[in-house]
Chain A
Amino acid sequence: MKVRQAIPITSELGDISKLAKFDGEVICEPPNNKLDKFSGTLYWKENKFPLSNQNMLLRGCVLRNTEWCFGLVIFAGPDTKLMQNSGRTKFKRTSIDRLMNTLVLWIFGFLVCMGVILAIGNAIWEHEVGTRFQVYLPWDEAVDSAFFSGFLSFWSYIIILNTVVPISLYVSVEVIRLGHSYFINWDKKMFCMKKRTPAEARTTTLNEELGQVEYIFSDKTGTLTQNIMVFNKCSINGHSYGDVFDVLGHKAELGERPAPVDFSFNPLADKKFLFWDPSLLEAVKMGDPHTHEFFRLLSLCHTVMSEEKSEGELYYKAQSPDEGALVTAARNFGFVFRSRTPKTITVHELGTAITYQLLAILDFNNIRKRMSVIVRNPEGKIRLYCKGADTILLDRLHPSTQELLSSTTDHLNEYAGDGLRTLVLAYKDLDEEYYEEWARRRLQASLAQDSREDRLACIYEEVESDMMLLGATAIEDKLQQGVPETIALLTLANIKIWVLTGDKQETAVNIGYSCKMLTDDMTEVFIVTGHTVLEVREELRKAREKMMDSSHTVGNGFTYQGKLSSSKLTSVLEAVAGEYALVINGHSLAHALEADMELEFLETACACKAVICCRVTPLQKAQVVELVKKYKKAVTLAIGDGANDVSMIKTAHIGVGISGQEGIQAVLASDYSFSQFKFLQRLLLVHGRWSYLRMCKFLCYFFYKNFAFTMVHFWFGFFCGFSAQTVYDQYFITLYNIVYTSLPVLAMGVFDQDVPEQRSMEYPKLYEPGQLNLLFNKREFFICIAQGIYTSVLMFFIPYGVFAEATRDDGTQLADYQSFAVTVATSLVIVVSVQIGLDTGYWTAINHFFIWGSLAVYFAILFAMHSNGLFDMFPNQFRFVGNAQNTLAQPTVWLTIVLTTAVCIMPVVAFRFLRLSLKPDLSDTVRYTQLVRKKQKAQHRCMRRVGRTGSRRSGYAFSHQEGFGELIMSGKNMRLSSLALSSFSTRSSSSWIESLRRKKSDSANSPSGGAEKPFKG
């Protein structure tokens, strides 16, 4: 939730007639994509009024705490910041797709080459032999020379040999991808029971790329975290509450928790609030003053609005979920924040309603990192309650709290080590006189014309000193289920995860720790926060130097810097020892992404184990993704849930949307969607890996079978005068790709598995071949082609050798064309079927059915095509009558088929077996070794590498924004007051919009071309 307000001068225009008379002019910045900045000036009634981001409503915003507002549109359509941030939608295709296109082009070239060779052969043959053979076969009338005959034969051969260009490949690939997409949709293990949403493959074209991902770009809120804050622990007066103990008094792990604390004594308690440590409630009930004061503070010092729909049914509207969590905690422990007016806060303290007079809200901002309220209790005592970051607040405590301070600090460190967001709470009693005097000065300061902010800050600073420490709170930014495990697993799979978030640095780093991306074991976490190009460059340079220094003591970083080519730099940095992490701020990132620095940034970032970019705009997210895409040639995956992730999702090779959240833009832009981050591991390591594996095997086999099939014609060309005579029956040619060989390979492409799915989770390293693109690349392609050509050679020359001499067992001729055709076709079908049998690693019933079925169908069709009946009906179409039964009855033919099969297959088996035993890859090893348990242990160690460590690091993070305090005190934001102000009804609104429109068109020739928008809120 963000605070947006109209500028005071226009906010008074709450009347349609006044609005209609409004004739101001706005001069402002040109359209840009910076979501957090706006500068403009309103010229009205000879006065200038500055306009800032505070006065802007961005396209796509939803109004909260106010029912309506009037506004002026400044930019519309593609000029809006939202649209400026949306990247162009590109057509996504996988690297295998692109490779396939290249290969198909090559094959086409190969086809033309073969055509040329055979055409030349034909011309020579016709010249040498054909002219003499004209007695028996005169040339066509159109053919007047051997050259022209060769030309015609070229085209004939292009037609005959076109089966090398796998036209059906594209269709088959799509079918397989569709199958894989269905598997993703059907996966029960990717179904979120809580949100009732299954995973969904929204595109069917990217599946195998899921098996090649190297970089994951993740959004934080809603993706890694649930955006739910939970009051988890607190430290009150040196005593820590909130640890969960099991029956035996040990700290309990998740899952074996006792029943949560019963808040039934409190009718106003929030049922959803869970707390496991009963001692805190006991302390409250015992009347421990510190505990009471602690919760009183929580119920008073905030900017939450309450809404009571019916008696006892309280709804809190908090600007940040952190505050909501704190106020809810106080509510459940008996300090119920009931309602507020601009001047009072009503709290039910253990059943009694007490109204405090709200004197001042010392609002939060990013520099102060704290907020305070000054209230007067019913007894008339004035007290300041303050909550804020430990680093800030601990310095402002009264010296007398030293002892308490040290024990609280210990607790804070412990909380921070758990990745909790901490806040320190303190209070201070104020004298009536002192307060009066201070309030006067504050008023003065707030009226000052120049440096108002600074003066106010000074005044605030003065009163927020010598405070008494109350304790500390620890809020858990609830991670999505299984996030740390998923990240650990993906990291083991050599996938680099970058978090790109719009949140502040503290929050982002905090989450980095809690999801184990950042650990205390890391050698160093570099934080880049520079505001200028030079600063950023310097910070990046220092980071690199440090990394290099530690790994290469020889290297003197200064000479390295800038002198080495970027490629060398990479090689140096990739070998960096130790774990580093990089945290970079949005404004630094803007510089780092400039053309001259982007490489430096990329090298530095890639050398780090973890990268967190905070406060980035949606477009920057996309730019970072684009940068990695451009230089690393790696497959990127972006995952996010909100509208601000859309451009990143669109830019990355694969975009994943978290579904089941409020927004749907991310899902709509995504290629895959599911509702939990943890499903990513299954999507990549199981589905992606299998898809890649299957697709690669499929492509290899497909090219192989087409070459084995087609090249036979090429060899036959040398024996048939290059006359473009096919080896096979035309029906066989038609049906080979469609019927005889398509289904087994499709079944393999859809169902094949090399290792069971559990294994791919247990051994994330199995994912690596995909990243390195080992299973299908140009080399593999040539191997397949070579195998295909080898097969075709044997397929032609072995039957040729046999047929050249042999006769049938009844003495008649064996070597007739039709018998030869049937023999070659049969051995081809058998060889490719055996080959697919070898390639299929996972023989399901469907595979059996398709492979045996294909063979059976081949013979069935063969006999049908060669049957007497068909010949009787169409004697000119079915010329092969009687061929199957006569040819396949010959032992010679079968011996030839068996021999061909053996010669084609045995080398493949031998090669595979030798590779398996001499150079097994991991998946082979996994299949064969029984070392499963051993490895599992190692892995667990890895995943738990992060223990609870007590580094002195502030866990402070608070997703809070400045501005609410002022709003509350002014009363403008109150719904009640807004109701009171609703004097103009919607009836007339259309008319004033009309008049405004006219105004706008009048002022359309103003230089900014825009208008201004006041809005009432």
Chain B
Amino acid sequence: MEVMPQYDLSRLPENTALKQQKLPAHRLDLSASVVLSIFFATGGFCLCMGVILILSAKSTKELEINYTNICANCAQLREDSSNFDKECTCSVPFYLPENMEGNVYMYYKLYGFHQNLYRYILSRSNRQLLGKDIWDVKDCSPFQVSRNSTPIIPCGAIANSIFNDTITLSYNLNSSIHIEVPMLKSGLAWWTDKYVKFQNPRASDLASAFAGSAKPLHWTKPVYELDTDDPGNNGFVNEDLIVWMRTAAFPTFKKLYRRLKRVDYFAVGLPAGNYSFNISYNFPVTVFRGEKSVVLSTLTWIGGGGLFLGLTYTVTGALTLLASFAILAIHLMLKRTKKNFL
């Protein structure tokens, strides 16, 4: 045993940092200074952010008018789906107390409409909406084909349930002069949706391209007549359709309906005064105990209002700062006792 051959070192493990578990490394130590600086920095940041967010949220103006019950007679009419071809309009007057300056956006807001149901979300055909294969309706259950077995275009539960009220806003300068507020129907959807996700079939005439198809059950007009004035907003690329097709995450949601066209009276926004919404009431909500309203709102740098983010930031910031001071106090106390101990 004593005289060992010197050659047999083949089994000697390699002396590498990895194999000997000696990789150079940084040890993560939660030292007091690091933790405290993280806490103070986070606290400060959150608090500042919160204040900024609250201030900017406050600077936006928002006006919401729930017209479910204002247009009660229309609501009742729509509860019976056999009345789908009967027109029902109602006018909702309101007073705007102060100017809404800047870009003004008009939204429709639905309460209790579940666009996030599992089967609902899936019930669409992207291939169809891409204009590639408009007859592809296999994912669209339960709205694939009409009663006489012609494929529905656009198929699926989402498209079928499109929000089809038309809302216009008129500015009542006085009791006799009603000026319709000019609104833009474009720029409501993402660029990628409008130009990538939704495309009309390549055909000179949309109506002929869609010949042989059925319109969705709830629709009053076929998809190629959604906007007959503007071919760039007709068919699948109609922005109202695109906006609707981007399903909401929660049962209460608002979707952009129109943008203010800032011309003439409205160059700086909506002046204060009397307005009225003229609503063609088509979309039934009372059947599922939902509600709907129309919202006018301005934006800030961060987007639409909502105090939640600002408040949460403020609270988080405040709590973090409090915690920082507590930690600091504990740390100092311990430091003293430790010194005594040593």
Contact = CB atoms under 8 A, between A and B. Distances in A.
Q: Do A and B bind each other?
A: yes
Interface of A: 129, 132-133, 135-138, 140, 156, 182-183, 185-189, 191, 193-198, 272, 690, 719-721, 723-725, 751, 753, 757, 798, 800-821, 837-838, 840-847, 868, 871-872, 875-876, 879, 881-882, 885-886, 890-892, 895-896, 899, 902-903, 906, 909-910, 912-914, 916-918, 927-928
B289 interface: yes
B252 A804 contact: yes
Given A719-B251, A757-B21, A809-B302, 4 more contacts: A801-B309, A809-B303, A812-B189, A815-B253
B114 A133 contact: yes
Contacts of A912: 30
Interface in B246-260: 246-256, 259
Given A811-B256, A812-B189, A906-B320, A927 B29 contact: yes
A132 B288 contact: yes
A879 B129 CA distance: 12
The 5 A-B pairs at the shortest CB distance, nearest first, are namely A882-B192, A807-B304, A805-B306, A186-B19, A875-B126
A168 B21 CA distance: 26
A196 B30 contact: no
B120 A186 contact: no
B309 A899 contact: yes
A899 B126 contact: no
A813 B253 contact: yes
Contacts of B32: 913, 917
A890 B248 contact: no
A845 B11 contact: no
B120 A902 contact: no
Contacts of B14: 186
Given A136-B161, A802-B308, A895-B309, A198 B13 contact: yes
Nearest to A811: B105
B326 to A, nearest CB: 8
A501 to B, nearest CB: 22
B232 interface: no
A197 B11 contact: yes
Contacts of B305: 805-806
Nearest to B157: A137
Most chain B beta-carbon neighbours within 10 Å: one of A135, A191, A804, A811: A811
A499 B325 CA distance: 56
Contacts of A137: 114, 117, 119-120, 123, 142, 157, 161
Interface of B: 1-2, 4, 8-9, 11-15, 19-21, 23-30, 32, 35, 38-39, 42, 46, 49, 53, 81, 103, 105, 107, 112-121, 123, 125-127, 129-130, 132, 139, 142, 157, 160-161, 187-193, 196-197, 243, 246-256, 259, 284, 287-289, 297, 299, 301-309, 312-313, 316, 320, 323, 327, 330-331, 334
Given A725-B121, A914-B330, A890 B303 contact: yes
Contacts of B42: 902, 906
29 contacts: A136-B157, A137-B117, A140-B142, A186-B19, A189-B20, A198-B13, A720-B117, A720-B251, A751-B25, A753-B21, A802-B309, A803-B249, A805-B305, A807-B256, A807-B303, A809-B299, A842-B26, A843-B26, A844-B24, A871-B197, A882-B190, A885-B192, A886-B192, A895-B53, A896-B309, A899-B309, A899-B316, A906-B320, A914-B327
B284 A818 contact: no
A101 B334 CA distance: 41
B299 A902 contact: no
Contacts of A810: 187, 303
Given A813-B255, A871-B196, A802 B306 contact: yes
Nearest to B128: A875
Contacts of B193: 882
Nearest to B193: A882
Contacts of A871: 126, 196-197
Contacts of A807: 105, 107, 254, 256, 297, 299, 303-304
Contacts of A886: 190, 192
Contacts of A803: 249-250
A814 B12 CA distance: 62
The winner among B284, B304, B316 for most chain A CB atoms within 10 A is B304
Contact of B288 (A135, A185, A724, A819): A135
A132 B289 contact: yes
Contacts of B259: 811
A909 B304 contact: no
B196 A725 contact: no
Nearest to A928: B29
A800 B116 CA distance: 13
B28 A843 contact: yes
A579 B333 CA distance: 41
B247 A817 contact: yes
A312 to B, nearest CB: 18
A863 to B, nearest CB: 12
A917 B190 contact: no
Contact of A186 (B13, B28, B116, B139): B13
Given A132-B289, A881-B197, A909 B306 contact: no
Nearest to B194: A882
Contact of B139 (A720, A876, A910): A876
Contacts of A182: 19
B90 to A, nearest CB: 21
B303 A844 contact: no
A341 B1 CA distance: 31
A757 B127 CA distance: 60
Contacts of B303: 806-811, 814, 890-892
Interface centre among B118, B252, B301, B334 (most CB of A within 10 A): B118
Contacts of A721: 114, 116-117, 251
A592 B337 CA distance: 53
Most buried by B among A751, A807, A899, A914: A807
B8 A196 contact: yes
Nearest to B21: A183
A555 B301 CA distance: 82
Contacts of B30: 909, 912-913, 916
Contact of A135 (B28, B127, B287): B287
A891 B56 CA distance: 13
A803 B32 CA distance: 36
B8 A725 contact: no
B125 A876 contact: yes
B12 A198 contact: yes
Nearest to A200: B11
B46 A902 contact: yes
Residue among A189, A838, A917 facing the most chain B CB atoms (10 A cut-off): A917
Nearest to B20: A188
A837 B117 CA distance: 36
B21 A751 contact: yes
Nearest to A141: B142
Given A135-B288, A197-B11, A906-B320, A720 B116 contact: yes
B4 A194 contact: yes
A188 B25 contact: no
Nearest to B308: A801
Contact of B299 (A136, A183, A811, A819): A811
A891 B301 contact: yes
B302 A817 contact: no
Contact of B327 (A196, A814, A910): A910
Contacts of A811: 103, 105, 256, 259, 297, 299, 303-304
Contacts of A895: 49, 53, 302, 309, 313
Contacts of A841: 27-28
A927 B31 CA distance: 11
A913 B35 contact: yes
Nearest to B295: A807
B141 to A, nearest CB: 8
A899 B46 contact: yes
A817 B115 contact: yes
Most buried by B among A186, A188, A812, A871: A812
Contacts of A140: 119, 142
